[in-house]
Amino acid sequence: MMSAIHKSIAAKRDAIKNDEQGFTLIELLVVVLIIGILTAIAVPVFIGQQDQAKDAAAKSDLGVAKVALVSYFTANPSASTPDAAALANFGYVASDGVGTIAITSGSTSSDFCISATSATTTTFYISEDSAVSTTACSVG
């Protein structure tokens, strides 16, 4: 009796082993569908992170350009408003993807506005007495 049961179980195991040939089409389609849904969720989030990084680079560049401009005016009190290239001597280096910065100076060397456009086409501004913002500053 026991040997018959063992033979039966062994035969069933052999049948199961020989019958397994991989995943079914339905199982594969479900996996592909799940991967597609996860991708549809992840890609827009990733793109948003890239845009935020580009904006952060432009804001950072403005902060560095402000320090470089103040250093330039300290070293050259009677000089006119420099261009971005002149600020390189005072520590300003443009980041990749940040458009050219524009420096607007008022009647005194302490009255200025610097603007930069990020790769997302957002323009940021910083003045002598304000932080980085998207609101254009005015110089007198």
pLDDT in tens, 116-133: 988 888 899 998 888 898
Q: 126 φ, ψ to 5°?
A: -145, 140
Check if the beta carbon of residue 124 is closer than 8 Å to that of residue 113: no
What global pTM score does this model have?
0.66
Position 36 scores a pLDDT of 95
- In the block, tokens 């470089």 appear at 68
> DSSP E strands: which ranges in the chain?
102-105, 112-117, 123-127
The CA distance from 14 to 9, in Å, is: 9
Position 26 scores a pLDDT of 93
Domain ranges of the chain: 21-127
Position 59 scores a pLDDT of 92
DSSP three-state, residue 125: strand
Position 107 scores a pLDDT of 64
Position 140 scores a pLDDT of 62
Check if the beta carbon of residue 109 is closer than 8 Å to that of residue 66: no
pLDDT in tens, 23-35: 889 999 999 999 9
Position 97 scores a pLDDT of 80
Residues of the chain with pLDDT under 50: none
Position 41 scores a pLDDT of 92
